[in-house]
Amino acid sequence: MGETDVIDLLQAQHAMIRDLFDEVEQASAKDRAEAFTRLVRLLAVHETAEEEIVHPYARRKIDGGDEVIDDRLAEENEAKELLSRMDQAGPAAPDFMENLLMLRAAVEAHARSEERYEFLQLRAHTSEAERRSMAAGVKAAEAMAPTHPHPGTESATKNLLVGTPVAMMDRVRDVIRQTMGKKP
Ligand SMILES: [Fe+2]
Ligand SMILES: [Fe+2]
Protein backbone atom coordinates (compact mmCIF):
# COMPACT_ATOMS: atom_id res chain seq x y z
CA MET A 1 0.00 0.00 0.00
CA GLY A 2 1.36 3.39 -1.01
CA GLU A 3 -0.33 5.67 1.52
CA THR A 4 2.00 7.43 3.87
CA ASP A 5 -0.64 9.25 5.93
CA VAL A 6 -1.53 7.27 9.03
CA ILE A 7 -5.21 8.19 8.84
CA ASP A 8 -5.45 7.12 5.18
CA LEU A 9 -3.79 3.83 6.12
CA LEU A 10 -6.16 3.15 8.99
CA GLN A 11 -9.21 4.02 6.92
CA ALA A 12 -7.99 1.68 4.17
CA GLN A 13 -7.69 -1.03 6.83
CA HIS A 14 -11.29 -0.34 7.88
CA ALA A 15 -12.31 -1.13 4.28
CA MET A 16 -10.15 -4.30 4.27
CA ILE A 17 -11.76 -5.42 7.53
CA ARG A 18 -15.21 -5.03 5.96
CA ASP A 19 -14.05 -7.09 2.95
CA LEU A 20 -12.68 -9.83 5.19
CA PHE A 21 -15.95 -10.04 7.12
CA ASP A 22 -17.62 -10.59 3.71
CA GLU A 23 -15.12 -13.35 2.94
CA VAL A 24 -15.68 -15.15 6.23
CA GLU A 25 -19.46 -14.87 5.86
CA GLN A 26 -19.39 -16.20 2.30
CA ALA A 27 -16.74 -18.90 2.81
CA SER A 28 -17.72 -22.55 2.58
CA ALA A 29 -17.45 -24.51 5.83
CA LYS A 30 -14.12 -25.88 4.62
CA ASP A 31 -12.59 -22.43 3.91
CA ARG A 32 -14.10 -20.62 6.86
CA ALA A 33 -11.28 -21.30 9.33
CA GLU A 34 -8.64 -19.90 6.99
CA ALA A 35 -10.66 -16.75 6.22
CA PHE A 36 -11.40 -16.25 9.91
CA THR A 37 -7.69 -16.52 10.77
CA ARG A 38 -6.92 -13.78 8.25
CA LEU A 39 -9.62 -11.61 9.82
CA VAL A 40 -8.23 -12.21 13.32
CA ARG A 41 -4.73 -11.27 12.11
CA LEU A 42 -5.90 -8.07 10.46
CA LEU A 43 -7.94 -7.06 13.51
CA ALA A 44 -4.94 -7.77 15.75
CA VAL A 45 -2.74 -5.62 13.52
CA HIS A 46 -5.24 -2.81 13.14
CA GLU A 47 -6.49 -2.41 16.70
CA THR A 48 -3.03 -2.81 18.21
CA ALA A 49 -1.60 -0.17 15.85
CA GLU A 50 -4.37 2.22 16.86
CA GLU A 51 -3.85 1.54 20.53
CA GLU A 52 -0.09 1.95 20.35
CA ILE A 53 0.21 4.83 17.92
CA VAL A 54 -2.91 6.82 17.23
CA HIS A 55 -5.11 6.73 20.33
CA PRO A 56 -2.41 8.02 22.73
CA TYR A 57 -1.67 10.87 20.35
CA ALA A 58 -5.35 11.71 19.83
CA ARG A 59 -5.91 11.63 23.60
CA ARG A 60 -3.47 14.51 23.96
CA LYS A 61 -4.29 16.43 20.79
CA ILE A 62 -8.04 16.47 20.17
CA ASP A 63 -10.83 18.27 22.02
CA GLY A 64 -12.32 16.02 24.70
CA GLY A 65 -9.56 13.53 23.95
CA ASP A 66 -9.86 11.54 27.16
CA GLU A 67 -13.56 10.90 26.70
CA VAL A 68 -13.29 10.09 22.98
CA ILE A 69 -10.42 7.66 23.48
CA ASP A 70 -11.84 5.99 26.60
CA ASP A 71 -14.99 5.25 24.60
CA ARG A 72 -12.97 3.82 21.68
CA LEU A 73 -10.86 1.64 23.99
CA ALA A 74 -13.99 0.28 25.68
CA GLU A 75 -15.38 -0.66 22.25
CA GLU A 76 -12.11 -2.31 21.27
CA ASN A 77 -11.95 -4.32 24.50
CA GLU A 78 -15.49 -5.54 24.07
CA ALA A 79 -14.78 -6.65 20.50
CA LYS A 80 -11.56 -8.37 21.59
CA GLU A 81 -13.40 -10.39 24.22
CA LEU A 82 -15.92 -11.62 21.68
CA LEU A 83 -13.13 -12.33 19.20
CA SER A 84 -11.27 -14.40 21.79
CA ARG A 85 -14.39 -16.36 22.67
CA MET A 86 -15.02 -17.07 18.96
CA ASP A 87 -11.41 -18.08 18.43
CA GLN A 88 -11.57 -20.48 21.36
CA ALA A 89 -14.84 -22.07 20.22
CA GLY A 90 -13.61 -22.27 16.62
CA PRO A 91 -15.38 -21.59 13.32
CA ALA A 92 -17.28 -24.90 13.48
CA ALA A 93 -19.11 -23.84 16.66
CA PRO A 94 -22.90 -23.75 16.21
CA ASP A 95 -23.13 -20.08 17.21
CA PHE A 96 -20.17 -18.98 15.08
CA MET A 97 -22.15 -17.16 12.40
CA GLU A 98 -24.40 -15.48 14.95
CA ASN A 99 -21.33 -14.24 16.82
CA LEU A 100 -19.65 -13.20 13.58
CA LEU A 101 -22.59 -10.93 12.74
CA MET A 102 -22.49 -9.46 16.23
CA LEU A 103 -18.75 -8.89 15.98
CA ARG A 104 -19.14 -7.32 12.56
CA ALA A 105 -21.81 -4.88 13.76
CA ALA A 106 -19.65 -3.91 16.74
CA VAL A 107 -16.42 -3.53 14.77
CA GLU A 108 -18.06 -1.50 12.00
CA ALA A 109 -19.83 0.82 14.42
CA HIS A 110 -16.52 1.26 16.22
CA ALA A 111 -14.73 2.12 12.96
CA ARG A 112 -17.40 4.70 12.08
CA SER A 113 -17.02 6.29 15.52
CA GLU A 114 -13.26 6.48 15.07
CA GLU A 115 -13.61 8.14 11.69
CA ARG A 116 -16.23 10.58 12.96
CA TYR A 117 -15.04 11.48 16.46
CA GLU A 118 -11.31 10.80 16.37
CA PHE A 119 -9.71 10.78 12.91
CA LEU A 120 -11.36 13.97 11.60
CA GLN A 121 -10.09 15.98 14.55
CA LEU A 122 -6.74 14.23 14.53
CA ARG A 123 -6.19 15.22 10.92
CA ALA A 124 -7.00 18.83 11.78
CA HIS A 125 -4.65 18.85 14.79
CA THR A 126 -1.58 17.18 13.26
CA SER A 127 0.90 18.04 10.53
CA GLU A 128 1.55 15.91 7.48
CA ALA A 129 4.98 15.07 8.89
CA GLU A 130 3.47 13.83 12.15
CA ARG A 131 1.00 11.66 10.28
CA ARG A 132 3.79 10.28 8.08
CA SER A 133 5.92 9.31 11.05
CA MET A 134 2.97 7.58 12.73
CA ALA A 135 2.36 5.65 9.49
CA ALA A 136 5.70 3.85 9.80
CA GLY A 137 4.51 1.82 12.78
CA VAL A 138 1.20 0.97 11.13
CA LYS A 139 3.01 -0.23 7.99
CA ALA A 140 5.38 -2.41 9.99
CA ALA A 141 2.38 -3.98 11.71
CA GLU A 142 0.50 -4.39 8.44
CA ALA A 143 3.45 -6.19 6.87
CA MET A 144 2.94 -8.95 9.45
CA ALA A 145 -0.49 -9.82 8.06
CA PRO A 146 -0.87 -9.54 4.27
CA THR A 147 -4.59 -9.89 3.57
CA HIS A 148 -4.10 -11.75 0.31
CA PRO A 149 -0.79 -13.52 0.75
CA HIS A 150 0.66 -15.16 -2.33
CA PRO A 151 2.43 -18.50 -2.19
CA GLY A 152 5.69 -18.26 -0.30
CA THR A 153 4.67 -15.34 1.90
CA GLU A 154 1.98 -17.29 3.74
CA SER A 155 4.42 -19.47 5.64
CA ALA A 156 6.42 -16.44 6.77
CA THR A 157 3.22 -14.74 7.91
CA LYS A 158 2.15 -17.83 9.79
CA ASN A 159 5.37 -17.78 11.76
CA LEU A 160 4.82 -14.18 12.77
CA LEU A 161 1.19 -14.21 13.77
CA VAL A 162 0.05 -17.45 15.33
CA GLY A 163 -1.89 -18.55 18.36
CA THR A 164 -4.66 -16.76 20.14
CA PRO A 165 -5.76 -13.22 19.23
CA VAL A 166 -4.08 -11.99 22.42
CA ALA A 167 -0.78 -13.67 21.44
CA MET A 168 -1.00 -12.05 18.00
CA MET A 169 -1.62 -8.64 19.54
CA ASP A 170 1.39 -9.04 21.85
CA ARG A 171 3.58 -9.87 18.86
CA VAL A 172 2.27 -6.90 16.87
CA ARG A 173 2.83 -4.61 19.84
CA ASP A 174 6.50 -5.68 20.04
CA VAL A 175 7.06 -4.98 16.35
CA ILE A 176 5.37 -1.57 16.55
CA ARG A 177 7.40 -0.56 19.61
CA GLN A 178 10.62 -1.64 17.92
CA THR A 179 9.68 0.30 14.79
CA MET A 180 8.68 3.42 16.68
CA GLY A 181 11.87 3.23 18.75
CA LYS A 182 10.21 2.63 22.09
CA LYS A 183 11.37 0.09 24.59
CA PRO A 184 9.12 -3.00 24.53
FE1 LIG B 1 -10.11 0.74 16.68
FE1 LIG C 1 -10.00 1.40 13.48
As a whole number of angstroms, the distance between CA 7 and CA 53 comes to: 11
Q: Is 182 part of a structural domain of the chain?
A: no
Element (H, E) at 1: none
Distance of CA 16 from the midpoint of ligand 2 (Å)? 11
Residue 160, pLDDT score? 75
- pLDDT, averaged across the chain: 91
The answer to whether residue 165 is domain-embedded is no
Q: Tell me how far the alpha carbon of residue 83 lies from the centroid of ligand 1, in angstroms.
A: 14
Tell me the ligand closest to 17's alpha carbon: 2
Sign of CA dihedral 18, 19, 20, 25: positive
Q: Is residue 164's pLDDT more than 80?
A: yes
pLDDT at residue 147 in the model:
63
131 is a domain residue: yes
160, burial (CB in 10 Å: exposed 0-12, middle 13-18, buried 19+): middle
| CA 49 / ligand 2 centre spacing (Å) | 9
- CA 176 to CA 142: how far, in whole Å? 10
Distance 151 CA to ligand 2 centre (A): 28
CA of 50 to the centre of ligand 2 (A): 7
Assess if residue 1 is contained within a domain: no
| Nearest-5° Cα angle at 161, 53 to 3 | 45
**Residue ranges with CB less than 5 Å from ion ligand 1:** 47, 50
- pLDDT of 157 > 80? The answer is no
Nearest ligand (C-alpha, residue 111): 2
Own/partner contacts of 175-180, CB < 8 Å, gap of 24 or more, are 175/140, 175/141, 175/144, 176/48, 176/49, 176/52, 176/53, 176/137, 176/140, 176/141, 177/52, 178/140, 179/136, 179/137, 179/140, 179/141, 180/52, 180/53, 180/136, 180/137
Distance from residue 57's CA to the centre of ligand 2 (Å): 14
Contacts with 1 (C-beta within 8 Å, 6 or more apart), sequence order: 9, 12, 139, 142
**41 found inside a domain:** yes
Residue 57 inside a domain? The answer is yes
Could you tell me what percent of the chain has a pLDDT over 70? 90
Which domain covers residue 39, as residue numbers?
6-151
Mean pLDDT of the region 154-172? 79
Output the CA 15–ligand 2 centroid distance in Å. Answer: 10
Number of separate domains in the chain = 1
What is the 7 CA–ligand 2 centroid distance (Å)?
10
Give the per-residue pLDDT at 137. Answer: 92
Whether residue 88 is contained in a domain is answered as yes
- Using the mean position of ligand 1's atoms as its centre, give its distance from the Cα of residue 103 in Å: 13
pLDDT band at 184 (very low <50, low <70, confident <90, very high): very low
What average pLDDT score do residues 112-136 get? Answer: 96
pLDDT for 101 beyond 80? yes
Q: Residue 182 pLDDT > 60, yes or no?
A: yes
What confidence category does residue 1 fall into, taking pLDDT thresholds of 50, 70 and 90? very low
Which pLDDT tens digit goes with each residue over 15-64? 999 999 999 999 999 999 999 999 999 999 999 999 999 999 999 999 99
